[in-house]
């Protein structure tokens, strides 16, 4: 039996006028895999991610995410994914439970399950006592963990994390990655971008975008062998230095 692919992209392309932001990228992501999506600023990561999330239509090529076609069924894509970014994830003025309820409601979590699931999640995170606290009063590390839990509250097949750990202290960053591993163990596929190269090492496989193309894709160990270097930092440096286009 063929492995189950949660993301399949084939020749996915996006042009803005004459500018090719994403240039025929082809790749698969397996169920439960932690897939690192790296690239320099301006390499096309955000544009590619927006297409995969059903927010932007490709100029050419095709992709399915969680079994849904991103062109024909963008609304079904959105219901079957979770999304979290460092820049936006929770409403700061709403209390912790209000945020959970809002996102749970949007993603169609059944009303009768909501209260129990909320309490379970907050106990697991060890912040049950903060249930009625406005999110803006939480320390950043807690906020990121809560945002991630909210992003997977409706048990999506895949969760997109756009630089989830930027600015977080080293200890909280590691705790965050342990949550990512737990989610992946439960079968949730994780698609993550990061500028921390040590975090690239935590991924099962990593792709590196340069000038809109995926120029390398393998396990971190495989990439280091392929480029004959000792760290992902050096792999990234070797590839990104070749980039022709500015930001």
For other proteins, the closer of residues 88 and 237 by Cβ is 237
The whole-angstrom distance between residue 185's C-alpha and the CA centroid of its chain comes to 16
User: What are the structure tokens assigned to 236, written together?
Assistant: 């990234």
Torsion angle of the four alpha carbons 13, 14, 19, 21, in this order, in degrees rounded to the nearest 10: -80
Q: Which is nearer to other proteins, 107 or 177 (CB)?
A: 177
Q: How far is the CB of 192 from other proteins (least distance, A)?
A: 15
CB of 98 to other proteins, least distance (A): 21
Which helix (H) or strand (E) segment is 223 a member of?
A: helix 220-227
Please name which of 188, 181, 224 lies closest in space to residue 206, comparing C-alpha atoms: 224
Q: Using the rule CB under 8 A, is 232 a contact of other proteins?
A: yes
CA distance 153 to 150: 5
* CB 85, min distance to other proteins, A: 11
Minimal distance, residue 120 CB to other proteins, in Å: 22
Lay out the site mask for other proteins across 203-222 (x = CB under 8 A, - = otherwise). -----------------xx-
In this structure, are residues 68 and 76 in contact, taking their beta carbons and an 8 Å threshold? yes
End-to-end CA distance of the chain: 43
Q: Tokens 């906020």: give the residue.
A: 143
Applying CB under 8 A, does 73 fall inside the site for other proteins? no
Q: Which stretch binds other proteins (CB under 8 A): 25-33, 95-103, 150-158, 229-237?
A: 229-237
Segment 120 to 179, residues that bind other proteins, using CB under 8 A: 139-141, 163, 166-172, 174, 177
3-state secondary structure 17-40: CCEEEEEEEEEEEECCCEEEEEEC
Nearest distance from residue 232's CB to other proteins, in Å? 7
Q: Interface mask (CB under 8 A) for other proteins, residues 35-54, using x and -?
A: ----xxxx------------
Residues that bind other proteins (CB under 8 A): 39-42, 139-141, 163, 166-172, 174, 177, 195-198, 201-202, 220-221, 231-233, 236-237, 240-241, 246-247
């Amino acid at each position: 039996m063929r492995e189950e692919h949660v993301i399949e992209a084939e020749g996915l392309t996006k042009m803005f006028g004459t500018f090719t932001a994403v240039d025929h990228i082809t790749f698969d992501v397996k169920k439960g895999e932690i897939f690192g999506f790296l690239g320099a600023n301006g390499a096309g990561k955000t544009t590619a991610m927006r297409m995969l999330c059903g927010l932007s239509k490709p100029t050419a090529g095709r992709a399915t995410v969680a079994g849904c076609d991103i062109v024909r069924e963008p609304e079904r894509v959105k219901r079957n994914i979770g999304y979290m970014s460092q820049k936006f994830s929770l409403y700061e003025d709403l209390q912790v439970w209000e945020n959970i309820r809002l996102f749970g409601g949007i993603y169609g979590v059944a009303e009768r399950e909501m209260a129990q699931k909320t309490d379970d999640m907050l106990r697991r995170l060890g912040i049950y006592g903060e249930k009625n606290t406005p999110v803006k009063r939480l320390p950043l590390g807690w906020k990121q963990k809560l945002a991630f839990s909210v992003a997977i509250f409706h048990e999506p097949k895949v969760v997109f994390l756009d630089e989830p750990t930027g600015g977080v202290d080293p200890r909280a960053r590691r705790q965050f990655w342990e949550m990512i591993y737990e989610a992946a163990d439960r079968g949730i596929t994780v698609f993550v971008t990061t500028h921390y190269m040590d975090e690239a090492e935590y991924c099962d496989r990593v792709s590196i975008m340069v000038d809109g193309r995926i120029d390398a894709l393998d396990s971190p160990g495989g990439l280091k062998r392929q480029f004959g270097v000792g760290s992902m930092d050096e792999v990234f440096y070797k590839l990104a230095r070749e980039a022709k286009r500015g930001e």
